[in-house]
Amino acid sequence: MKIIETAREMQAYAESVRLQGRRIAFVPTMGYFHEGHLDLMRIGRKRGDVLVVSIYVNPTQFGPTEDFEQYPRDFDRDREMAENVGVDVIYAPSHREMYPEGYSTYVLVSGVTENLCGLSRPNFFRGVATVCTKLFNTVKPHVTIFGRKDFQQLMTIRRMVTDLNLDIEVVGMPTTREPDGLAMSSRNVYLKKEERESALSLSRSLLLAQSRYAAGERDARKIEAEVRHFIEGHPFVKIDYARICDVQTMRDVERIERESVLALAVWVGKTRLIDNHVLGEDLSI
Ligand code: AMP
Atom of ligand 1 nearest to the CA of 177: 19
Q: Are 28 and 1 in contact (CB under 8 A)?
A: no
Q: Are 174 and 40 in contact (CB under 8 A)?
A: no
pTM as predicted: 0.98
List, for residues 185-222, the tens digit of each pLDDT value.
999 999 999 999 999 999 999 999 999 999 999 999 99
Distance 148 CA to ligand 1 centre (A): 8
Rounded to whole angstroms, how far apart are CA atoms 26 and 47?
9
- % of the chain beyond a pLDDT of 70: 100
Q: Which of 99, 105, 114, 121 is nearest to 156 (CA)?
A: 114
Q: Which one of 43, 146, 153 would you pick to mutate in the ligand 1 pocket, going by the greatest count of ligand atoms within 8 A of its CB?
A: 146
Rounded to whole angstroms, how far apart are CA atoms 159 and 111?
9
List, for residues 134-166, the tens digit of each pLDDT value.
999 999 999 999 999 999 999 999 999 999 999
Ligand 1 contact, 273 CB (< 6 A):
no
pLDDT averaged over the chain? 98
Gyration radius (Cα) of the chain, Å: 19
At 284 the pLDDT is 84
Distance 145 CA to ligand 1 centre (A): 10
Is 37 assigned a catalytic role? Answer: yes
Rounded to whole angstroms, how far apart are CA atoms 225 and 203?
16
Distance 236 CA to ligand 1 centre (A): 24
Ligand 1 contact, 183 CB (< 6 A):
yes
Q: Is 87 exposed, middle or buried (0-12, 13-18, 19+ CB in 10 A)?
A: buried
Ligand 1 contact, 41 CB (< 6 A):
no
Cα 45–Cα 50–Cα 56 angle in degrees, nearest 5: 85
Q: Residue 169 to residues 31, 232, 265, 282: CA-CA distances in angstroms?
A: 22, 39, 28, 24
Ligand 1 contact, 175 CB (< 6 A):
yes
List, for residues 78-95, the tens digit of each pLDDT value.
999 999 999 999 999 999
Rounded to whole angstroms, how far apart are CA atoms 122 and 63?
8
- Strand bridging mode 260-268 / 271-278: antiparallel
- What is the arithmetic mean of pLDDT over 217-233? 98
